[in-house]
Amino acid sequence: MSLLPQQIVYGLLVGSLYGLAAAGLSLIFGVLKILNVAHGELIMLGGYSSFWMFALLGVDPFLSLLLTVPIMLVVGFFLYHGLFTFVAASAEEARIRNSLLIGFGLALVLHNLAILLWTADERGITTAYSGQVIRVLGLALPIMRLGGLAAAFLVILGLHWFLHRTYLGKAIRATAEDWEAAALMGINIDKTYRVAFALGVATAGIAGTLVTIGYSVSPSIGLEWTLKALIVVVLAGLGSIMGTFVGGLLLGVAESASTILLGGAYREVVGLVLFLGILLTRPQGLFGR
């Protein structure tokens, strides 16, 4: 039990990545009613983007976000126009089915393309300050993961501000509520869908960079992070980006605490139990509206 506080801190650090990864998936699903099961592969692409900038050019991983974000925005625009425009134009009841088919295909293509280009080896970013920690009240706080927590929180805060304080953000929220009423009010639905999808992909890219900083990236991480994001979306519910981030923190703390209370073998089981419990008792999620 003396290790529990340290595990809770660790859970908050990893939970911030869960929340950030889920925010992009939640935004796309909430606005377009599209379930992008290739979300984890987009996280993987963001991770490789920052890794190669660091390995080839020596760019600090946090500074590489300044290039990773626009790159992933462009990727998001191309993916939407090339693959998901057809899905967005279909009836709402058919969108999830069609997006699942396209998403699984995209995931397989990206996974095999990554193996072909970069092999299946795990890669991580190691900087001069990677092993440094800050000790507060007897707790070890790794500087790299603290930086990841701060970056994730700032991104979520910026996304929340954008959705609530800008015209385009309000248009995205209105479209998520009722796209037909939004269209009658003069909102360009196709533009709104395009921007929301690109923002979701860019958020996944940022999460990929932070995953590479704290852990490692390989072509096989896609499915794992897609599942984590889905669990957080169900746990938090739709309608609140900040709520999604808090849901990620809760999942991270629950998993980390379970390693002390139940044993490491049950770490992944805890997330699935939470997933099923929320579906049965509160289908709209803890923060869903």
In this predicted structure, what is the pLDDT of residue 94? 84
pLDDT beneath 50, residues of the chain: none
* H helices present in the chain, as ranges: 4-32, 39-57, 65-79, 85-89, 92-118, 143-165, 167-177, 179-184, 189-214, 221-236, 241-261, 267-281
Per-residue pLDDT, 289: 62
pLDDT at 2: 62
Q: How far is the C-alpha of 176 from the C-alpha of 192, rounded, in Å?
A: 10
pTM of the full structure: 0.92
Q: Could you tell me the two tokens for 226?
A: 């897609």
Measured CA to CA, the distance from residue 45 to residue 222 in angstroms comes to: 9
Residue 198 has a pLDDT of 95
Residue type, 279: L
Full set of structural domains in the chain with CATH:
4-281 (1.10.3470)
- C-alpha dist (Å) from residue 215 to 113, 184, 207: 22, 47, 12
User: Which residue is associated with the tokens 């001069």?
Assistant: 128
The distance of Cα 67 from the centroid of its chain, to the nearest Å, equals 18
pLDDT value, residue 4: 79
* DSSP character string of 110-139: HHHHHHHHH-S--B----TTTT-EEEETTE
Residues in the chain: 289
- pLDDT value of residue 26: 92
